[in-house]
Structure 1
Amino acid sequence: MLFVAEFLNAIQDFIETGGQVLVVIGILIFVMWLMILERIFYYLKGHRQQMKQAVRDWNSRSDKSSWNAEQIRQAMISRVSLGLGGNIPIIQALVALCPLLGLMGTVTGMIEVFDVMAVAGTGNARSMAAGVSKATIPTMAGMVGALSGVFAATWLQRTARRERRKLKDHLLLEH
């Protein structure tokens, strides 16, 4: 229990040091990773079932070589591809938003530095350091969130492309 209390105090100190923008960045990163995990679980479970169903439907057809059959095959591939794409564009938008919010934290921290300089002059280094810290921590948090999200979004896109190709191959091989 003491460990949890110390952990929560450390998080609270970190947020106080980074400013309120850090809370928004934290929520954004949390939502982004929930969406990434949803896609991963979909690829592991839901997509496999959908792909098996599409292959089963294709195999149950007697006509596989006419123009009409080709259109049905394309529709099956499109339906499965829509499921694969899911919320990847939203994840990419959240990844792009992370550094922008970090930049907003930088600006608000620097405004605090300039306020301290206006009131106390340039001689109060301790107050200026608090503002600089408030400027750099959100930038770092935004970049860490963006980097982790970029790697995950790239992996998700690559996996979706690979699964789409596998489905096309399965439906072609079954002629």
Structure 2
Amino acid sequence: MLERYWYLNWVSPKQHQAIITAWDAREETTSWYAHRIREAWLSQAKQDLNARMLIIKTLVAICPMIGLLGTVTGMISVFDVMAVQGTSNARLMAAGISMATMPTMAGMVAALSGVFFSTRLDAKMKISLEKLKDSMPHH
């Protein structure tokens, strides 16, 4: 995710400026061919902006599931204590319950943070692409 923020703030503006300069250098911008060239450049810019976003969104979606895996591991520990001790002693089960709770909480915190930042990143990328489109007038 940090790489995408770096790309959006440092690399993308330079690439967009190069595209705008190339567009402004064209003698004609109204023909069918000029429109296709403009669309191709915009499509390439969009692909560059959206690179690796699917991976980020997938990892964010997986975070709660990894937390649940930790919960299952912790609950197995609790049941193991119950089976070995033959009792439901709360002090003996506390470590397993803690082991079950912490990964769930960590997974949810990671997922919520990831959703926030990936949504914000996606919105900034759309704004950047719209600015590029507006900077390349066609008639």
> Is TM > 0.5 for Structure 1 vs Structure 2?
yes
Does the aligned pair in 2 maintain the 1:84–1:160 contact within 8 Å? yes
Partner of 2:49: 84
* Structure 1 unaligned residues grouped into runs of 5+: 1-35
Partner of 2:61: 96
Output the CA distance in 2 between the equivalents of 1:123 and 1:88. Answer: 47
91-100 vs 120-129, greater mean Cα deviation: 120-129
Q: What is the TM-score normalised by the length of structure 2?
A: 0.96
Partner of 1:58: 23
Output the CA distance in 1 between the equivalents of 2:2 and 2:40. Answer: 27
Q: For this pair of structures, how many residues does the alignment match? A: 139
Output the CA distance in 1 between the equivalents of 2:10 and 2:123. Answer: 17
Q: Percent sequence identity over matched residues?
A: 50
Moved over 3 A (4+): none
Output the CA distance in 2 between the equivalents of 1:146 and 1:76. Answer: 34
1:44-69 deviations in Å (ceiling 9; x for gaps) = 11000000000001011112001110
Output the CA distance in 2 between the equivalents of 1:75 and 1:123. Answer: 67
Partner of 1:37: 2
Residue 127 of structure 2, aligned match among 162, 169, 174: 162
1:100-123 deviations in Å (ceiling 9; x for gaps) = 000000001001111111111234
1:129-156 deviations in Å (ceiling 9; x for gaps) = 1111000000011111111111110011
Q: Does 1:136 align with 2:101?
A: yes
Q: What is the TM-score normalised by the length of structure 1?
A: 0.77
Does the aligned pair in 2 maintain the 1:109–1:131 contact within 8 Å? yes
Aligned counterparts, 1:100-111, within 5 A: 100-111=65-76
Output the CA distance in 2 between the equivalents of 1:139 and 1:122. Answer: 26
Does the aligned pair in 2 maintain the 1:112–1:131 contact within 8 Å? yes
